[in-house]
Structure 1
Amino acid sequence: MTDDPTTLPFRELIRPYTGDIAGVRPAETVGWTDFAGVVTCEKGPFFVKAMRNEGWRCASINRERLITPFLASLAPTLHWDAGDDAWIALGLEVVDGRTPDFGPDSPDLSAVVELVDKIGQVPLPEPALTWTETRWDRFVTRESARELFRGDTLLHADLNPYNLLIEANGIRALDWGWPTRGAGFIDPAMLVVQLIASGHTPAGAESWVNGCAAWRDADPEAIDAFAAAYLRMRHEMVERKPEMAARQAMLTATEAWAAHRGLVPLP
């Protein structure tokens, strides 16, 4: 269905980049953004993401704006960005593709692992120098464990099937709203949990991410510390919204991974 373009509250903000707008096709999910969808227009089409320019939430769209030019073929191209006191908008390449299958027998897994490995090898972009990864700090039981999560690797930090897109010539990562600078094993570790949630055994999931150099080179103690912290985080997320089945599924997968690593009950 094509929506009336006059309903876009930031229409005049993006007009210099789009020209006349013929139609709007909102995305099925918008994540953190206030708007996401394909805008058919005189100079496009573009996949447009927009957020109200207020509060801490707009930090995510600003991170995506800053990091995307450094990602080359690993993410959709950023063609333009626009902002005023009310809105911030990004005009991204429209990519035709499908969500990858994370199941144990999926032919997509090799491409997914290769992409995660490539992200881990991107030279740390200048904008990310101050984006130190700290979101798991409060879930450790000893302060020294926090240093195990530090590093100079660019992290997507939200890789899941819905943030990846398989296209004719490969695979790309979407939604770079919270990239950080941290230990390189973190993205592969988060992929382990996603794979377990999709039906893999913990050992099988770890064997897949062994295709990532950052995982192979990681200190097992650091991975254990992360698994324990991630499990504590997942417990808290379920406690906040126990009605969300997706959160419970991720908690179950994280518990299975932590048990596989000998971390249940948690140290």
Structure 2
Amino acid sequence: MSRNDPGSEFWPLIHPHTGDLADFRPTSRGFSSDVTALIECEKGPFFVKAVHNRPGGRRDSIIRERLINYAVYPVSPALRWHVEDDAWVVLGFEWVEGRASDFAPDSADLPVVVDILNRIGELDLPEVAQGWPETRWNRFAEDEAQAALLQGDALLYTDIHPSNLLIGDQNTWAVDWSWPTHGAAFIDPACLVMQLIAAGHTAEAAEGWAANCKGWADANPRAIDAFAAATLRMNRAFAKRKPDASWLRAMADAAQAWVDHRTR
């Protein structure tokens, strides 16, 4: 089995939803999944995402993505079908035509990126997500009081990345809702700040773009300070754990630049 050939047991499982297969094209994104591909088929096309049906984080993640889809459409492409057996968990999404966004300082995509985050920020917290509090930054917070500043009832996406924010001719989408949570509304714009700094923006300029997001504009500056500091500790820990991963070092450097800006 590989990303190019998920194995003979895969095709009969999805056939009731796809019909006869015409083409299977693996995509370059989605490395947390065992299969990500565009499937041209009798009933499609579909974007298909699948993981092996084994207990643990990846199964939990794809199940969470299935459960949240009804609440995040049309910011996200619609889930058209899903299927599961002892071997696989598979999601079939509508196929959307879009390109990855550009986060560079001179990019014309930046207002569109901010608009996508504002559309996410306008979504109500659905009942299914009320038991998914955001906790990933808690252990990196200075203390419980600072961790408490990161809590809230805003639906969070958090997977801000150029390849996940797609721009089409008529629409835009945030794809890969692999770990939605709820927390403070400024966290998604803060994740954008980190990505923009990593893409070459100054911390001041990155925060200038985030300021166009309501969740950021309404935030307690102390809470943003606490998040920035926790993000630095988080990325340092990740970079130390995997010293050969240059992208982790780059994110740690971006977090340091952000904290330096906020503590000047």
Residues 97, 188 of structure 1: CA spacing in aligned structure 2 closer, same or farther, 3 A cutoff? same
Matched, 1:34 2:39: no
Whole-angstrom CA distance in 1 between matches of 2:62 and 2:217? 32
- 2:116 counterpart residue number: 115
CA RMSD, 1 decimal: 1.5
Residues 258, 4 of structure 1: CA spacing in aligned structure 2 closer, same or farther, 3 A cutoff? closer
- 1:19 counterpart residue number: 19
Amino acid at match of 1:24: F
Amino acid at match of 2:215: A
User: 8 Å contact 1:5–1:21 — kept in the other structure?
Assistant: no
How big is each residue's C-alpha offset from its partner over 1:209-230, in whole Å with a ceiling of 9 and x where there is no partner?
1111010000000000000000
Residues 138, 183 of structure 1: CA spacing in aligned structure 2 closer, same or farther, 3 A cutoff? same
User: 8 Å contact 1:111–1:170 — kept in the other structure?
Assistant: no
Whole-angstrom CA distance in 2 between matches of 1:10 and 1:149? 41
User: 8 Å contact 2:24–2:37 — kept in the other structure?
Assistant: yes
Overall identity of the aligned pairs, in %:
49
How big is each residue's C-alpha offset from its partner over 1:80-117, in whole Å with a ceiling of 9 and x where there is no partner?
11111221100001111111111111110001001111
Whole-angstrom CA distance in 2 between matches of 1:160 and 1:251? 16
- 1:72 counterpart residue number: 73
- 2:88 counterpart residue number: 87
Cα drift, residue 6 of structure 1: 8.2
Cα drift, residue 170 of structure 1: 2.8
3-state DSSP of counterpart to 1:175: coil
- 2:189 counterpart residue number: 188
Number of residue pairs the alignment of both structures matches: 261
Q: Mind listing any 5+ residue stretches in structure 1 that lack a counterpart?
A: none
User: 8 Å contact 1:149–1:183 — kept in the other structure?
Assistant: yes
- 1:154 counterpart residue number: 155
- 1:126 counterpart residue number: 127
User: 8 Å contact 1:195–1:205 — kept in the other structure?
Assistant: yes
Residues 162, 75 of structure 1: CA spacing in aligned structure 2 closer, same or farther, 3 A cutoff? same
Amino acid at match of 1:246: W
Whole-angstrom CA distance in 1 between matches of 2:5 and 2:253? 43
- 1:171 counterpart residue number: 172
How big is each residue's C-alpha offset from its partner over 1:209-261, in whole Å with a ceiling of 9 and x where there is no partner?
11110100000000000000000000011001111111111111111000000
Whole-angstrom CA distance in 2 between matches of 1:256 and 1:156? 23
Amino acid at match of 1:89: V
User: 8 Å contact 2:156–2:180 — kept in the other structure?
Assistant: yes
Whole-angstrom CA distance in 2 between matches of 1:231 and 1:4? 37
Amino acid at match of 2:233: R
3-state DSSP of counterpart to 1:154: strand
User: 8 Å contact 2:6–2:35 — kept in the other structure?
Assistant: no
Cα drift, residue 4 of structure 1: 8.0
- 2:60 counterpart residue number: 59
3-state DSSP of counterpart to 1:130: coil
- 1:236 counterpart residue number: 237
User: 8 Å contact 1:133–1:181 — kept in the other structure?
Assistant: yes
Q: TM-score, normalised by structure 2?
A: 0.95
3-state DSSP of counterpart to 2:74: helix
3-state DSSP of counterpart to 1:73: coil
How big is each residue's C-alpha offset from its partner over 1:44-95, in whole Å with a ceiling of 9 and x where there is no partner?
0110001111121200100110111111221111111111122110000111
Whole-angstrom CA distance in 1 between matches of 2:138 and 2:210? 24
Q: TM-score, normalised by structure 1?
A: 0.94
